[in-house]
Amino acid sequence: MPIPEDITGDEIDKDVRQELQSLPKTLAEDVAKNLVMVARLIDEDPEGAYGYSRVALRLASRVAAVREAAGFAAYASQKYSEALAEFRAARRMTGTVELWPVMADCERGLGRPEKALDMAGAPEVHKLDKAGQVEMRLVAAGARRDMGQLDAAIVTLQSPELASNSVQPWTARLRYAYADALLAAGRESEAREWFAKAVEADRDGSTDASDRLAELDGVEFVDALAEDAAEASDEASDEAAQSGEADRSGESGGVSAEDRDED
């Protein structure tokens, strides 16, 4: 797959670069460039990112960072079975538990919420850092919702991290998930309160909490471009109608010279 000229491979994290040092220099550079493309495209073009991840995987399947990148690209493309296999491979190589929450979410994607809940109760969760534990809580709540257990999902999200007034990288998503669960359970006033709190914490716009809050407040957003197009269409229709009336008037409304002579 083509690599833009501005990509050098030096953009990758130093930890990943260190992993690639086990490869021949030219090969390491090629792998690095493909990994940079994965990172660049994964949010806006998951399928494109997936393509570059497959190239990197063919070049260096024994590098943990490559298996992890391939896993995230497959995950973003909703190829959950493939993502889970790559995450498991990366975990075997590194021995770390950082990927445990996303592995559990892959189980959800595969329609196995019970398995995700089993993973949420596994000893590995206690080895996660705070961010990982919050992520695991989000996955567990999602699994509860998959099983139709709304009240259990709400209880799962209730935690010291949710109650804290400090804003952390995970705060907006945690508050958003709680608000969404409340709304699904029909607790609209509480949901509105927590969507508002999510907006306060969402400094980089990672959620659509502001839109959800506006919907609850009855605010309607108008697409200006669509509105202009509709107005233009209406004007064209009016002009056509007026033109048609004028034509019909010319055909039937006038009296010919012959008619006057006969009179």
pLDDT digits (tens, 9 = 90+) for 142-158: 999 999 999 999 999 99
- Residue 251 confidence (pLDDT) above 80: no
- The mean of the pLDDT values for the chain is 88
In the block, tokens 């099983």 appear at 147
Structure tokens at 209: 């909490």
The whole-angstrom separation of Cα 133 and Cα 90 is 19
User: What average pLDDT does the segment 179-194 reach?
Assistant: 96
The whole-angstrom separation of Cα 194 and Cα 110 is 30
User: What percent of the chain has pLDDT above 90?
Assistant: 74
Could you read off the pLDDT of 111-125 as tens digits, one per residue? 999 999 999 999 999
pLDDT at position 5 is: 87
pLDDT at position 217 is: 86
* 24-32, long-range: CB < 8 A, 24+ apart: 27/59, 27/60, 30/59, 31/56, 31/59, 31/60, 31/63, 31/66
- Residue 241 confidence (pLDDT) above 90: no
User: What average pLDDT does the segment 240-253 reach?
Assistant: 54
Determine which of 13-22, 30-39, 215-224 has the lowest per-residue pLDDT on average: 215-224
- Residue 253 confidence (pLDDT) above 50: no
User: What average pLDDT does the segment 195-199 reach?
Assistant: 96
User: What average pLDDT does the segment 62-86 reach?
Assistant: 97
- Nearest Cα neighbor of 35 from 68, 5, 81, 83 is 68
- Nearest Cα neighbor of 39 from 61, 63, 65 is 65
Q: How does residue 9 score in pLDDT terms, banded at 50, 70 and 90? A: confident
